[in-house]
């Protein structure tokens, strides 16, 4: 009985010693490179939920479980590198210095919805058109191809100028639609209109075109009452290299474009664009009468109802005739001055184009 009691006491003492060893606390101080205390540093035991934070003096204290040996403490703080430190039971007065780290953030995307969204998830109607879709329909001006898509009206007001409209408000000068190239409004400040894509991104550098219809584009301002046309250029990081395009056609059309993009390292790239386009525009040849009123008969076809001051080109010549024997004055001797037969005449030249 006495042996059993002695064994029981020894076992109890061993258990108490083990429990005391497992509950041994660890404490210390966390500072920066200048020796100043860091407040709010997260201190956790790796692989467990045991943790704490440093106080105003940069000190911490916690009681990890040392039942399986030494433990590893994780020290983490915003703007500093996360560090690990292996500690043993009963270790105190730990002094740790955290190293500063550079915060590498991802690129920031600013959109009208204030959050990045996929086209299928946007609350508004967006028509996203790739450059391959636009190139399937040949045209002198790339925006002419947009007329094939729903809700878009195209007004070819000139050989090289295409005016876009949505919601049925089609005119030669659409004021209620905004055209943006890489976030920049390229409306002509003097004319207050968009000359197609002449002032936008060259065709070689267009990656896609997004069309936002009607009042869905209200976030772009009051001028976007009928919609917004957003042209996106190619990223030089994704599309490096040299591209040259040259084409010609009727009306002396000549269109030359050049694009050069190069990636210099992982954070810098350069892109050079150049374009030149010229053509002879169409001249009106419509002689159809526009009024029932009888006006001056100056139509080359003999129709006196079609006086068109816009398309009328010509010259006006004077005519005069002086009969022989006409007295035009006296000479210094007081004798009359007479002229012989003198005359000149011209023909009214009128031509319709």
pLDDT in tens, 197-228: 777 888 888 888 888 876 666 677 777 777 88
CATH superfamily label, 121-238: TonB-dependent receptor, plug domain (2.170.130.10)
Would you state the pLDDT for residue 126?
75
- Residues linked to residue 228 through DSSP beta bridges, in sequence order: 178, 212
Would you state the pLDDT for residue 10?
45
Q: How is the chain split into domains, by residue range?
A: 21-97, 121-238, 283-353
Instruction: Supply 109's token pair.
Output: 């995307």
pLDDT in tens, 240-294: 999 999 988 888 888 899 999 999 988 899 999 998 888 887 776 665 655 555 4
* Among 121, 127, 134, 145, CA closest to 211: 127
Q: Residues in the chain with pLDDT < 70?
A: 1-24, 90, 103-125, 138, 169, 174-175, 214-218, 284-353
Would you state the pLDDT for residue 305?
47
CATH of domain 21-97: 2.60.40.1120
């Amino acid at each position: 009985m006495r042996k059993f009691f002695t064994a029981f006491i020894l076992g109890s003492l061993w258990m108490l010693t083990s429990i005391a060893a497992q509950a041994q606390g660890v404490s210390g101080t966390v500072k920066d490179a200048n020796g100043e205390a860091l407040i709010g540093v997260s201190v956790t035991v790796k692989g467990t939920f045991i943790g704490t934070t440093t106080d105003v003096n940069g000190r911490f204290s916690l009681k990890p479980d040392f039942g399986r040996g030494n433990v590893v403490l994780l020290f983490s703080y915003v703007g500093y590198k996360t560090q690990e430190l292996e500690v043993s039971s009963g270790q105190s007065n730990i002094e740790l210095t955290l190293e500063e780290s550079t915060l590498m953030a991802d690129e920031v995307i600013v959109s009208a919805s204030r959050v990045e969204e996929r086209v299928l998830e946007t609350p508004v109607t967006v028509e996203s058109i790739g450059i391959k879709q636009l190139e399937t329909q040949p045209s002198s001006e790339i925006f002419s191809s947009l007329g094939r898509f729903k809700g878009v009206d195209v007004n070819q007001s000139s050989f090289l100028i295409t005016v876009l409209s949505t919601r049925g408000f089609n005119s030669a000068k659409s004021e209620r639609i905004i055209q943006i190239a890489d976030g920049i409004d390229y409306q002509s400040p003097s004319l207050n209109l968009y000359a197609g894509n002449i002032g936008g991104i060259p065709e070689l550098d267009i990656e896609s075109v997004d069309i936002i219809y009607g009042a869905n584009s209200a976030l772009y301002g009051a001028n976007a009452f009928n919609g917004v046309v957003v042209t996106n250029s190619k990223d030089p990081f994704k599309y490096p290299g040299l591209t040259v395009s040259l084409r010609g056609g009727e009306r002396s059309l000549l269109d030359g474009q050049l694009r050069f993009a190069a990636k210099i390292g992982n954070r810098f790239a350069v892109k050079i664009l150049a374009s030149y386009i010229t053509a002879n525009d169409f001249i009106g040849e419509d002689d159809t009468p526009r009024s029932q009123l009888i006006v001056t008969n100056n139509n080359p076809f003999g129709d006196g109802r079609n006086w068109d001051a816009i398309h009328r080109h010509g010259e006006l010549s004077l005519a005069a005739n002086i009969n022989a024997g006409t007295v035009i004055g006296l000479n210094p001797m007081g004798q009359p001055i007479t002229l012989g037969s003198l005359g000149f005449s011209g023909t009214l030249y009128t031509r319709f184009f």
